[in-house]
A and B are shown apart, each in its own frame.
Chain A
Amino acid sequence: MSPEAKKEKKFALTLPAEELMACGHLACQGCGATLAMRYMLKALGQKTVLCIPACCWAVIDGPYPYSSLDVPIYHCAFETAASTATGVKAGLEATGDTETTVVAWAGDGGTFDIGIQALSGAAERNDDIIYVCYDNEAYMNTGIQRSSATPYGAWTTTTPVKHFKNRPKKDIVAILAAHRIPYIATASVSHPEDFVKKMKKAKDIRGTRFFHVYAPCPTGWKSRPEDTIKLARMAVQNGYFPLYEIEDGEKTTVNLKLKERKPVEDFLRLQGRFRHLKPAEVAAVQAEVDARWERLMRSCAG
């Protein structure tokens, strides 16, 4: 391209330009959860209220009286993201505001573990909220303790190398699907266009909507900060974290079809938390990923 033609060329924006997250926030270098928030707000816009329980995001946003986000945030107790969002939604409706989107935004610990009771309650009532779980696969804010979202084989401070986690990750999406809520989607920070598209779709649906967002954490995964997007992309492409949506607990659609899946080993080797794994254990991870993928394919088939 000639320099003149390039000068004329527009800068390509594949996401909405509106920026509701400001610089100066406190996230670590290369934080995936931060990108997840940036993309979600691009999709939902300013008429949004967030309910954030204890998690990294309760800190990233900044100490009182500052906030790095241009939307109201209700900081709530660790186990209450969903019930707080339900209450905020009811309050807004009582004032006649039916438009504002109310989002519960919690980590994997706040969702898979301590917050699951409130989440299940909201889902069973089909309360009109969007629940987003950004999954960094451990309790990162308090120093990398295992959660039920921590995958098989991973090191954390409570699953040290000699006793690494030997149980698979809990299938939170299947749990939510069993509640027959109108919309469930998985998303990854490596595929923001897909995330924004599904978030916009969810915004127009009424009832409980659930997002499971894959958000690499360089600090907790012992990975290089520049590899955040690469790791998230690898997880999508090798079937470790497939991108799909489930409507009404029944209709499953895979958003990114994979002709061939790459082996998970390259993905594991980029992360210090899996460094100790021996070939047999890597094979066990691969077998688990394969089985999960088969299950997903079967549920799509009908």
Chain B
Amino acid sequence: MRPRKAKKIVFKSAEEMPLMICSVGHQTHNLTGAWRNIRPEIDLERCIKCGICWKFCPEPSIDVVDEWPVIDYDYCKGCGICAEECPTKCIAMVEERK
């Protein structure tokens, strides 16, 4: 799995900022899962491990863990592409409550 959930970096003064224009890393502190209205839920009983959901996720927030697809809800924006493209239709989009 990739390194995730980097901390947000706050420069307290101009002196603390790097002199060169360079990136300090990912903005994985930005938990885009908060954007979601509907949440994909995979029924692994019916999953055939075809990899199509992983291939088409634009975040990408579907990981492969022990050869199974696992959605990282901290980042999934709920676009629904995985559910639409899954050939066995084993991903359901359910309303997000809260």
Q: Assess the B64–A11 pair: CB atoms within 8 A.
A: yes
Q: Assess the A66–B23 pair: CB atoms within 8 A.
A: yes
Given contacts A62-B27, A65-B24, A66-B25, contact A23 B4 (CB under 8 A): yes
Residue in A1, A6, A35, A66 whose CB lies within 8 Å of B56: A35
CA distance A227 to B81 in the complex (A): 7
Within 8 A of B (CB), among A1-31: 1, 6, 9-15, 17, 19, 21-27, 29-31
A229 within 8 A of B: yes
Residue in A11, A24, A62, A226 whose CB lies within 8 Å of B49: A11
Chain A residues positioned under 8 Å from B11 (CB to CB): 65
Q: Assess the A24–B58 pair: CB atoms within 8 A.
A: no
CA distance A6 to B31 in the complex (A): 33
Which size class do B's interface residues fall under? 35 or more
Number of A residues, CB within 8 Å of B = 41
Q: Assess the B26–A66 pair: CB atoms within 8 A.
A: yes
Q: Assess the B2–A22 pair: CB atoms within 8 A.
A: yes
Q: Assess the B55–A25 pair: CB atoms within 8 A.
A: no
Residue in A22, A35, A66, A67 whose CB lies within 8 Å of B58: A35
Q: Which residue of A lies closest to B36 (CB)?
A: A29
Q: Assess the B79–A30 pair: CB atoms within 8 A.
A: yes
Q: Assess the B58–A11 pair: CB atoms within 8 A.
A: no
Q: A-B contact count, CB below 8 Å?
A: 121
Chain A residues positioned under 8 Å from B85 (CB to CB): 229-230
A11, A26, A34, A192: most-surrounded residue (chain B CB, <10 A): A11
Residue in B18, B31, B50, B55 whose CB lies within 8 Å of A192: B55
B77 within 8 A of A: yes
Q: Which residue of B lies closest to A29 (CB)?
A: B79
Q: Assess the B27–A229 pair: CB atoms within 8 A.
A: no
Q: Assess the B61–A23 pair: CB atoms within 8 A.
A: yes
A238 within 8 A of B: no
A38 within 8 A of B: yes
Point out residues on B near A: beta carbons under 8 Å.
2, 4, 9, 11, 17-18, 21-32, 35, 48-51, 54-56, 58-61, 64, 67-69, 72, 74-75, 77-81, 83-85, 93
Beyond A29-B77, A64-B21, list 13 extra A-B contacts (CB 8 Å).
Answer: A12-B49, A14-B51, A22-B28, A23-B75, A24-B75, A65-B17, A65-B18, A66-B24, A66-B27, A67-B23, A192-B55, A228-B58, A229-B85
Point out residues on A near B: beta carbons under 8 Å.
1, 6, 9-15, 17, 19, 21-27, 29-32, 34-35, 38, 62-68, 73, 192, 224-230
Q: List 11 A-B contacts (CB under 8 A).
A: A1-B48, A22-B2, A23-B26, A24-B29, A24-B75, A25-B27, A35-B56, A66-B23, A66-B27, A225-B79, A225-B80
